[in-house]
Structure 1
């Protein structure tokens, strides 16, 4: 009787948890799955305000146009791939930062550094642009200091420099997300048994050797999972940052795939073509996610999905 009552209690508790989860499931369905019905306009010569039944069915016309638009499309894909590769190359930085932060003996100071580095994640890209403009524009603080010290003879506007676009935007992204991205690694480090560090210390391992042989292997699996997920979202490099920082000089190098879809759909009003590009992008991301899932099975022995 006690076992039956315990099972009944657990069922009721699980139902309550499901009820708490229900609003979030409804939110996901409404904002992630219901809009997928809008993909149908990619197969029609769509005009806003009219029903699809009154529009001309064009089939795969806009999908073929995606592969035939060799001028703009390949430039946009090149920009997207460059930013994606730079993102993968700099991906170990939050892990390294978390390891170094964990080694700070004064926990109060480490908490302070963690808070300071996490704060930029919550700053809008509009505010980031204002800060960057006040620092790096022609009349910004950096140019004023360098000219005052006689290091440079004329100011350089980094925000309008085509040669600095890729590394400058990557550095801004690192500054904004370094502390926030390191949180998951700090959580993984906290889960490493302290007995491993004590055993390594008894064996004569110093702090650097403990980092190398205990901490790093302890969070390696976390890094692999995040790396594989990043590969799955390889062509989704973001929109807000590049939309805010674009200008007529840097647009050709800042226009990534998401920004290109926005320009086609909402500015040029090519709704059907932009929808087709969005579909292709989503399908490529889906293939890459399942591909990385299979890769995870071979590397880790189990999948991430």
Structure 2
């Protein structure tokens, strides 16, 4: 017998936060415009980012403090939010210059409070800085929200001095383990969505097919989806890039950058460190760049 009240529609099953078909083509103008408006006007993001303390950035900060050399580096963070990570880095490197790039007016305003950071309004797809003008580029939990990841990486390489470092923190939407967690733990409001039964296995099968395809390819394959912007469940429902660390390994290797450090959300205790990236959770990855190609035509203010 159905428990639905007569005359009322059955309640909708919560959408998985990463629902939707995947495409190798970057999103069209309609989706890009919706994303731009969402991030420009969504003050909730600024509120959540301001609530993060240093512990939230601990893995990112550990990598930054290890790989970024010198007493006075010039560091750019893309999608900096209210600037919490940059401020924490300045505590250990007070001579650094920290540039906070953001599209959200509310986040920029908070990043500009005090004299520590230099807030800059702009997009990761067209960074308003000159070629080779910073010593390090940081992007933490932001690339999954970008509608053209390859272009953003091209821009990071353009503004980076040689030698320099790119540090990226991202989730692993293509993980082979996360669907299993959803299936057996039954988390109803986790970042990745709501999957307790057959949906979890469908998600796992999709990720398994992606893992095989990406392993067999020598090139990065950035896959995109239509984000859920009308009723965000939290976490990555608004993500447009189906994030996979293996894509980054392929892209930067093909641009002659060296992976110098990785900090991964390890599963299965110490043994998890020996598992392939497809089984891991979120990662912070750092590359040393010495000779990657620069688009000379792109310039901007210092």
Q: Which has the higher helix share?
A: 1
What TM-score does the superposition give when structure 2 sets the normalisation length? Answer: 0.22
Question: Greater strand percent: which structure?
Answer: 2
- Larger relative contact order (C-alpha < 8 A, sep ≥ 6)? 1
Normalising to structure 1: TM-score of the pair?
0.22
